[in-house]
Amino acid sequence: MILLDAAATTPVRRAALEAAWPYLTGTFGNPSSVHEPGLAAARGMTDARAAVARFLGCRSAEVVFTSGGTEGANLCIKGLALGAALGTALDAAGSHARRIVTTRIEHEAVLASVDYLARVHGFAVTFAETDASGRVSPAALRTALGTGTGTGTSTGTGTGTGTGTGTSTALLVTIGWANNEVGTVQDIAALAAVAHEAGALFHTDAVQAAAHLPIDVAALGVDALSLSGHKLGAPKGSGAVFVRAGVPLEPLLHGGGQERGRRSGTENVAWAVALAAACRELAAERAASEPGDAARDRFIAQVCASIPGVRLTGDPDARLPGHASFVVPGVNGETVLLELERHGVIASSGSACAAGRTEPSHVLVALGLTTDDASAALRFTWTADVEAAELEASVTALAAAVDATRALTAPRATPQRHRG
């Protein structure tokens, strides 16, 4: 079996399991307790926080452990937006100037968090335009912020249009570093700089990027970043966020004030330690290996040469290593995947978080694909240990699966009757 669905999840690393085991057994204390079992657990949390901070390029105090990418996005977006809104002065109309800028191709966790703020707290939402590959340019972000020339797309209270220059009324910009469905990578440093010029905070969802791209939050210039452990080889239910020191963050969970008051609840020491171990091992692997761009580009070229009509989705250059996504017009993506599995290859048609839904991918539709083309989507994502021979075998299997699917849907000729 060849697994090409790493964007959905990855197996837990042995190092992560071994690091977590003591905190599930002998060192099981509550890290808030002052006796020795509790202090031993607290030391584990301190060491794990320091390791994740090194992975992110930040200070330990700026790391908050979470249950994964969805909670991380919710905490950063809702927490930063509400924290910033509480600190803003009333405008002339007597209401807060509250607006969030994002894109239509974000993960559901981001879009749902933004929608919550609009529905429940009256935030305005503006969507920055993306090009056909999913890239957001600094100019497009300036337009959405109202500090450039042009018109953005707005929902909620307020408007998303702006001309000229000046200070934006937006409090927060949230744009994902790398798209999980099409693999496009954003120039986050440039976009964060634009947001800060306009006086807005900047959050990036790094769930997909963290497994492939080195992270330095200072170089990125972001105010907050969220990641998920199970994309890195840590257990599902683990994750962390970076929140820059001094940035107000309204917590989502209230209670005992753990995580410096930013996330109450008894800490999951074992999973924090496992995440730290995965981050350490991943950083070491990166330092010892070459980027996977060449293997990715070779895979894409072979697929395009083997399957008539196939089209690459996402940016051909600014995309994640180990990520290739296509549409094959005229076939159903799910049917191809079932046939592909018969050939021993596991892939996906898009976000695993949208599994079971019948509507087409919101990402592909936002990028201009028709409903039919969006239903023909295929995504192949892999970790660095997948070998070249396995990728080549997957291309052969994919071509066979597409041929078999097309044969099932090809119109049959009507038999001619002899007239005599």
13-58 per-position pLDDT tens digit = 999 999 999 999 999 999 999 999 999 999 999 999 999 999 999 9
* Mean predicted lDDT score pLDDT of the chain: 91
Identify the residue with better confidence: 193 or 356. Answer: 193
What pLDDT does residue 292 have?
Answer: 85
- Is pLDDT at 155 greater than 60 in this prediction? no
- Is pLDDT at 377 greater than 50 in this prediction? yes
pLDDT band at 157 (very low <50, low <70, confident <90, very high): very low
CA distance 205 to 115: 16
CA distance 303 to 398: 8
What pLDDT does residue 200 have?
Answer: 97
pLDDT band at 395 (very low <50, low <70, confident <90, very high): very high
Q: What angle do CA 210, 378, 9 make, to 5 degrees?
A: 35
What pLDDT does residue 409 have?
Answer: 74
What pLDDT does residue 15 have?
Answer: 98
- From the list 58, 76, 304, 353, the catalytic residue is 353
- Is pLDDT at 355 greater than 80 in this prediction? no
pLDDT band at 115 (very low <50, low <70, confident <90, very high): very high
Q: What angle do CA 113, 118, 122 make, to 5 degrees?
A: 140
Which stretches of 220-306 are assigned E, i.e. beta strand? 224-228, 239-243
Nearest to 222 by CA among 252, 191, 178: 191
Active site residue 353: yes
Buried b / exposed e across 393-407, counting CB within 10 Å, b at 16+?
ebbebbbebbebbbe
Helices 108-121 & 69-86 angle (0-180, nearest 10): 30
Percent of the chain scoring above 70 in pLDDT: 88
Catalogue all structural domains in the chain, each as residue range(s) with its CATH number.
14-286 (3.40.640.10), 290-408 (3.90.1150.10)
- Mean pLDDT in residue range 408-419: 62
What pLDDT does residue 289 have?
Answer: 82
CA distance 213 to 40: 33
The DSSP 8-state label assigned to residue 157 in this structure reads S
Show the tokens assigned to 42: 């607290």
pLDDT band at 282 (very low <50, low <70, confident <90, very high): very high
- Is pLDDT at 359 greater than 80 in this prediction? no
CA distance 30 to 36: 10
What pLDDT does residue 63 have?
Answer: 98
